[in-house]
Amino acid sequence: MRKLVLLLAASLALTACTAAPEVSSPAEAAPPAETAATGEAAAAFPVGTLQMAIPEVMDTGAASVEITFTGLETEPILKLDYAAGVQTKLCDIDLSRQIPVAIMQHGDTVEYFWDSEGSTVFAHTAIRPDGSVEEQTIPEKFYPNFYDEYAAYDIWGTTCKRLDWQTGELTTASLPFVQLDGVPGAVGSRVLLTRIVSDTPLPEGEGNEEMRDAVLQNSLREYDLYDPATNTIEKVFDEPYYPEEHNELRSYLGYCGDKLYFGVTYTDSAAAFSTRNTLVSYDRTAGTWQEECSADSKGGEYSNFWPLLQDGQLRLVVLWRGTDTLTLYSIDNGARYEVPYEEAGSDATGNRNFPIALTDDGRILVTDGYIDRSGVPASRYALIDLGAYLAGSREYTAVEMWTE
């Protein structure tokens, strides 16, 4: 089940999909049914800028690393250096015995976490800058969902596990609360998580679904910032677990400064449009909500949000993906842009001008059709100045793609 959650994160099916509170309303005070540890505890270890870890890809702003899944037992881990515009192979992985869990990086070392079929072996493979590869086993179940320059973290259930990059030591701390609901993302050196606050404990196990649902009907979903260094939480806001508006779904997209950004999808089959995607923000300092931008469907199309981050913070959001146009919103200047693109086809056609990542030097990585890799089509990439891209230009700098 845990592995499924990590894979869903890779597909941007983020947790905490609920109705958005009324825009510009102050945060409601929680009538907590439990008291979480929020006191000032001494920091046990340093924590840097946390990044969310996913199974297939990792981006630093200077480079990206990905596993290409072509259906073969042996697959390459590829690194794309943005400054050089060149993609190279770091190493091969054996998918006949390894199930990818996450890719991450500290310093110049890329870390690939995996487990075995049946989850009998947990390990990570360190890929050094000189090309050497070192495989290290982990003594117990470890599915990291966050990392920084000091360690990898597995925050789930009732514990926070930490694997130190320097010492290899695995430590475990009991979370200072119960009923963890989800871990949507990172906010600086803390983790944004949700937990269920209820008058009675949630029933567990099969056969208790109706009773569990009854408890949730009168429960709150509370958003908190968890500090792994001090093992404490700080409440951000709460809301009813089951929203009144069942046709609205919300997902956390990222943060910028003191604002948390959420994508809200509203569906109304009786209206002239079937779906509307709205970007809303929550100001943690003022405790208020604000609508940033909306985009309506065209001809019944549907599209999820696509966030683009830089230095861990949200900078650009794809609000809508039409048949030949992307609607984007810039967090930096509050402007909305319409950018042409070619949708990926089932016959390896199209797939051009969709944004993948922002680079540290002010460019954006986009798709540029396909290449053939071992008889399987794989996305080709190109780089372009961000301002030119938003203005509709396609004056790409082609990436030198790796092929066997």
Specify the pLDDT at position 9. 35
Structure tokens at 240: 């009813």
Tell me the β-bridge partners of 77. Answer: 67, 91
Residues of the chain with confidence (pLDDT) below 50: 1-39
146-147 β-sheet, strand order: 51-52, 146-147, 151-156, 159-164, 170-174
- How many other C-beta atoms are found inside a 10 Å radius of the C-beta of residue 61? 15
Q: pLDDT by residue (tens digit) across 92-135?
A: 999 888 999 999 999 999 999 999 988 899 999 999 999 899 99
Please say whether the beta carbons of 162 and 170 come within 8 A: yes
**Alpha-carbon span 395 to 146, nearest angstrom:** 36
Among residues 344, 15, 378, 314, the alpha carbon closest in space to that of 306 is found at: 314
**Cα–Cα distance measured from residue 117 to residue 95, given in angstroms and rounded to the nearest whole number:** 10
Q: SS3 letters for 145-192?
A: CEECCCEEEEEECCEEEEEECCCCCEEEEECCCCCEEEEEEEECCEEE
Question: Exposure string (b/e) for 142-180, b if CB count within 10 Å is 16 or more?
Answer: bbbbbbbebbbbbbbeeebbbbebeeeebeeeebbbebb
pLDDT of residue 271: 61
At 242-267, the pLDDT tens digits run: 877 667 788 999 999 999 999 998 87
Rg (Cα) of the chain, in Å, rounded? 22
Buried-exposed string 63-91: b where 16+ CB fall within 10 A, e elsewhere: bbbbbbeeeeeebbbbbbebeebebeebe
Q: And the tokens for 134?
A: 């070192």
